[in-house]
Amino acid sequence: VTMQIISISTVSEVQMDFTSDFYFRQSWRDERLSFQKSPGLESMTVGAEVAERIWVPDTFFANEKSAYFHMATTPNTFLRIGSGGEVFRSIRLTVTAGCPMDLRYFPMDRQACTIEIESFGYTMKDIRYRWSDGDTSVRIAKEVELPQFKVLGHVQKAKEVALTTGNYSRLVCEIRFARSMGYYLIQIYIPAGLIVVISWVSFWLHRDASPARIALGVTTVLTMTTLMSSTNAALPKISYVKSIDVYLGTCFVMVFTALLEYAAVGYLGKRITMRKTRCQQLAKLAEQHRQRCAAASNEPSSEPLLASPEVSMVKTVGSCQVCPAAVASQGQPREAPPTGFTMVRRGADQCCPGLQGSCQVCPAAVASQAQQQAPPPGIPMEVRLEMVDPKGFGKSSTLENTVDGAPDIESAFCKNPNKLFGVGPSDIDKYSRVVFSVCFVCFNLMYWIIYLHISDVLPDDVNDE
């Protein structure tokens, strides 16, 4: 048997097959067809109709899906009979044969497709197939080209197949293909990489430009989804992961993470805004408290020091405590503190016992109020400001600082109101510009080095037996 492959039209990943057009030639010896040769008559070439009246092998293609003879303009077959009974038959066929493919390294994969020749009914006791010209029995025309593949070469094999009806002789022609990367590089890899780069533009937009950043993030995510869907639509529905899935999946994760990054920036900015608002309120109360303390130090101590609508506070006078309830009991009006805020002034540890519920005034305190209008110089009074968020947006915050001769009260709690845990919204964008680009470059280096190396090694291991 010999073959001359004149074209390979398609290699389909979806159907798992390939189509080839070739001349299929068989030769055998039948002594019943021998004749006496004469000068000028050593062999006879007859038409296809003679093949119906003589014995011919019942050859078929074991992995064939479909095949047909060419009939234009006449049946593309001929039969030549030699004087010694040698029969040579040539037929032009187009065969679509099954080709199971391993797409784990798609589109950097190598595939091996076979054409298997076998007798349908005759076992090895009756007929044996062999390649008549050795390694040159199968030839592939130099003009054979495929848009997505390169033909690496072919391998010829002969083997014995054991079936339930007996052992059969089989010839195998294995054609090896290497997929071309050009189409997938231009149509898939480069666009996917550019989509990832476009998603980084949001890191340079102002964090208050919500419509622009959200539109950019959602658009890139949807574009990556469409690209992944269109790519997999042209491939069979297989369960394992392909190399192109690794690349597109990573690109999708990166554009999706870029969208989540803006969500983190927005949340952090909201928390910082709430914190600044609380700090401003706290600073206002602290300033009002300073003014009242300064005014109280110049007035008689019998005047209520802390009866104010903004702050409820306990002041240590000598060894006792005075609170608004006590002041109110001496004829001064009592006003409730604002909701969510409590201010307590702590002095000496000794105070009147039984100060529970409404406060009382110790006699020692009433007697000494005229002499203790202000704390002694150099002895600061400690102030603790406890703020409870009535809306539940955040946990309660506590401030302790010094009033007399000390820094501002709000400086301890609101030391850096533009950052939360030492990080601001602008910092996240700055870090993302570097981290995202470095991660994507490192991924590309690893991806192409690993898969290109694997694709170079693959041809030596394709279907080797």
In the chain (465 residues long), the average pLDDT of successive 10-residue segments reads 93 93 94 85 84 90 92 88 91 95 92 94 92 90 90 92 92 94 94 95 85 91 94 89 95 94 80 72 77 74 44 41 42 43 41 39 41 44 43 42 42 56 71 92 95 73 44
**Eight-state DSSP code of residue 147:** S
pLDDT computed for residue 251 by the predictor: 96
Distance CA 31, CA 44 (A): 15
Distance CA 87, CA 1 (A): 12
Helix ranges (H only) for 298-409 are 324-329, 363-368
Distance CA 176, CA 87 (A): 32
Is residue 275 classed exposed, middle or buried when 0-12, 13-18 and 19+ CB atoms within 10 A define those classes?
buried
pLDDT computed for residue 299 by the predictor: 63
Determine the residue type at 33: L
Distance CA 89, CA 78 (A): 6
Spell out the long-range contacts of 235-243 with Cβ–Cβ below 8 A and sequence spacing 24 or more: 235/13, 235/14, 235/103, 235/106, 236/13, 236/14, 236/16, 236/103, 238/103, 240/103, 240/104, 241/104, 242/103, 242/104, 242/105, 242/106, 243/104, 243/105, 243/106, 243/107, 243/108, 243/451
Centre a 10 Å sphere on the Cβ of residue 195 and count the other Cβ atoms it contains. Answer: 19
Buried-exposed string 39-75: b where 16+ CB fall within 10 A, e elsewhere: eeeeeeeeeeeebeeeeebebebbbbeeeeeeeeeee
Distance CA 101, CA 99 (A): 6
pLDDT computed for residue 465 by the predictor: 41
Element (H, E) at 264: helix 243-297
Distance CA 335, CA 159 (A): 106
Tens of pLDDT, residues 104-151: 999 999 999 999 999 999 999 999 999 998 888 999 998 898 988 999
Distance CA 121, CA 126 (A): 9
pTM summary value: 0.67
List the beta bridge partners of residue 317. 320
- Domains annotated for the chain, with CATH where assigned, are 2-180 (2.70.170.10), 184-270+426-458 (1.20.58.390)
How do beta strands 138-140 and 2-12 pair?
parallel
> What token pair was written down for 371?
């002499």
> What token pair was written down for 340?
């969510």
Tens of pLDDT, residues 46-85: 888 888 889 999 999 999 999 999 988 888 998 999 988 8
**Scanning the structure block, which residue is given the tokens 């009433």?**
366
pLDDT computed for residue 51 by the predictor: 85
